Amino acid sequence: MLAAAFALLRRDLQLAWRHPSDLAAGLFFFVIVSSLFPLGVGPETALLQRMAPGVLWVAALLASFLALPRLFAEDHRDGSLEQLALSGLPLPLVVAAKTLAHWLAAGLPLALVSPLLGLQFQLPVDVLGVLLLSLLLGGPALAVVGAIGAALTLGLRGSGMLLALLVLPLYIPVLIFGAGAVDAQLAGLSPMPHLSLLAACTLAGLGLAPLPTAAALRLALE
């Protein structure tokens, strides 16, 4: 069964690989939105540095949010989703595999690029490290929570705005702990409490979120 789930993950990664434009769009969004803030508030170094943890986290969060509809929409459209439901594999496991693949294809690149953007905000190297780590730890949490919203709104008209309303409030704890970790490092304090909470969110999310997501997918398949 795990082998089958792994096969699903590989399939989704293979499909994502054949659409590099999706990945590029997410990265460009991340870069552009981050760049809007200095343009909006001015280039003063101290201010930018102070803002950076929050700005970069929000930009990454929004970029990963934009990728959410891709998680199930294509499979729903071509009928693969119902075949997955019929395959005999538990649907929560299917959800977990797809969400993980989604994060690897869409969320991981954002995390890897973030230190470069952090440089634009004059963040010191150790803070860049914490930024990367926080996005690596928190990204999967965003993906699994976002998956719940994506499944609930699957196939609905005008689902983009609705998805934002459903999912962004649920993102808030992850944002607080993630940006908080980077902030702490910036202030010379230990980021460990924040990072631990972040890891807890991700683990709890990976374990629990696939259940309502699977239930929502069944509703969408009816």
Partner 1 sequence: MDIRQHPRLFHYASPATFYPLAGRLVPSLGGLALLLCLLGLWIGLVIAPGDAQQGEGYRIIFVHVPASWMSMLAYLAMAFWCAIGLIFNTRLSFMMAHALAPTGALFALLSLVTGALWGKPMWGTWWVWDARLTSELILLFLYLGYLALQGAVEDPHRADRACALLALVGAFNVPVIYFSVRWWSTLHQGASVSLSQAPAMASLMLWGMALTALGFWAYTAAVALARVRLLILERERRSDWVQRLLNEEATA
Partner 2 sequence: MPPVMLEARQLTAQRGERLLFANLDLRLARGQALWLKGRNGSGKTTLLRILAGLHQPREGGVYWQTAPLTTGLATTSYLGHRNGLKDDLSPSENLHHACRLQGLAVTETAIEVALAQVGLDPLVQELPCRLLSQGQQRRVALARLLLEQRPLWLLDEPFVGLDDQAVARFLDHLRHHLAQGGLLVLTTHQPLDAASLGVPLAELQLSPQFH
| Residue closer to partner 2 (CB basis): 35 or 80 | 80
Q: How many helices (H) and strands (E) does the chain have?
A: 11, 0
- Tally of CA atoms within 13 A in the half-sphere of 66 that contains its CB: 16
Can residue 87 be called a binding residue for partner 2 (CB under 8 A)? yes
Can residue 158 be called a binding residue for partner 1 (CB under 8 A)? yes
Smallest CA-to-CA distance from 26 within 71, 59, 75 is with 59
Q: CA–CA separation, 9 vs 3, rounded Å?
A: 10
Structure tokens at 17: 């690989």
Q: CA–CA separation, 207 vs 54, rounded Å?
A: 27
| Residue closer to partner 2 (CB basis): 16 or 59 | 16
Residue 196 contact, options partner 1, partner 2, none, Cβ 5-8 Å cut-off depending on partner type:
none
Q: CA–CA separation, 155 vs 24, rounded Å?
A: 25
| Residue closer to partner 2 (CB basis): 156 or 187 | 156
Can residue 23 be called a binding residue for partner 1 (CB under 8 A)? no
- Tally of CA atoms within 13 A in the half-sphere of 48 that contains its CB: 20
Among 28, 32, 44, 83, binds partner 2 (CB under 8 A): 83
Can residue 188 be called a binding residue for partner 1 (CB under 8 A)? no
What angle separates helix 45-67 from helix 20-41, to the nearest 10 degrees?
Answer: 150
Among 153, 185, 186, 210, binds partner 1 (CB under 8 A): 153
The separation between the first and the last C-alpha atoms of the chain, rounded to the nearest angstrom, is 25
Can residue 157 be called a binding residue for partner 1 (CB under 8 A)? yes
| Residue closer to partner 1 (CB basis): 26 or 99 | 99
The residue ranges that bind partner 1 (CB under 8 A) are 148, 152-153, 156-159, 162, 165-166, 168-170, 172-173, 176-177, 180, 183, 197, 201, 208, 212, 215-216, 219-220, 222
The residue ranges that bind partner 2 (CB under 8 A) are 1, 3-4, 7-8, 11, 14-15, 18-19, 77-80, 82-91, 218, 221-222
